Amino acid sequence: MVRRVCGESWALRYSALFSLCCYTSAAVDSTKETRRLRISNVIVKPEDVRNLAKILVRAGSGESGKGEAKSLSFWAGARDNSEYEGATPEVYAEGGILDRKEVHSIGMSFSNYASQSRVRIRLTHASGDWGTNEVEVTGGDSNWVNGTMRLIEDSIQAMEPQAEWPRKYFLVMVIAAALGIGRLYLWVIGLVLDFMWHPNFTQPPEWLKSFGPMLRFLDWGIALFVGLSPARSLLDKLIELWPVVELRMGREWTQISRRRRERLWLVISVTVLPLLVNLLYGIMNR
């Protein structure tokens, strides 16, 4: 009786040891590598989306996990709140929604539930530096992870770059716009006061002339303070015309950011540039 119990005890010990070894081996084998890439300052066109979809399909075919556990998903959302999803890149086929509608978000993914490998690509028409434009590759095979990420990086680098000058020179533009708006505001106030008050002198008093440089500095300081808030609001709207990631999809008339930029340049060339030239001419002739 004692011998049988001892035998069962040793059997339990060997069983526990075997389970521990299997668990340790599984834990070692389950080591995963994850790489992430933030996407910014690019213009994404339909052909760019199709190239990314091809890379995703190729990555799924080259992944070494069990085929029956693999899953592909392709998704697109349009501005009219319509959504399209499928298990093949046919969602992005030529002549389809990418070429017909104003698409504002793209998502595609590959996953293998057996090996826990996955690839996720998210693209959103975004003005701010949000975390919605990102690539994530995870897997136990480092060569597969890094090779897939390299192909995606090359595809993104081949996309048309977005103009960076609106954000690069944002502070300079805000100050310049604030001074212009402030000076215009003070000029209008001066005209109103002159009309209502009718001052009797055309030249400032002698004692006031001695403070000329200080008053001029104060004048520009007041103009900057007055125009700062409206200038900031105006420039924030201007920045939205150059999104961090621009999804240039659909027919030409649906590409709102591009059309608004063209209208802006037209307004600047017809109205703003002549005013600036006139202002500079007036300053140089003083």
More confident residue, 151 or 10: 151
Between strands 134-139 and 42-44, the pairing is unpaired
Q: Do residues 156 and 177 share a domain?
A: no
Among residues 123, 141, 161, the one where a domain terminates is: 161
Q: Is residue 10 included in any domain, yes or no? A: no
94 contacts 112 by C-beta, under 8 angstroms: no
Among residues 138, 161, 184, the one where a domain terminates is: 161
What average pLDDT does this structure show over 176-205? 73
- Supply the range of the domain harboring residue 57: 32-161
Kindly report, residue by residue over 247-285, the tens digit of the pLDDT: 988 877 666 666 666 666 555 555 555 556 665 655 555
Inform me whether the pLDDT recorded for 194 exceeds 80: no
Q: What φ, ψ does residue 58 adopt, rounded to 5°?
A: -65, -40
Among residues 104, 127, 161, the one where a domain terminates is: 161
13 contacts 133 by C-beta, under 8 angstroms: no
Q: Is residue 23 included in any domain, yes or no? A: no
Count of structural domains, the chain: 2
Measuring CA to CA, which residue among 147, 155, 86 is closest to residue 117?
Answer: 147
Q: Do residues 269 and 185 share a domain?
A: yes
Q: Is residue 27 included in any domain, yes or no? A: no
pTM over 0.85: no
Band (pLDDT 50/70/90 cuts) for residue 239 is confident
What average pLDDT does this structure show over 70-77? 94
Inform me whether the pLDDT recorded for 208 exceeds 60: no
Q: Do residues 157 and 188 share a domain?
A: no
- The whole-number pLDDT of residue 203 equals 62
37 contacts 152 by C-beta, under 8 angstroms: yes
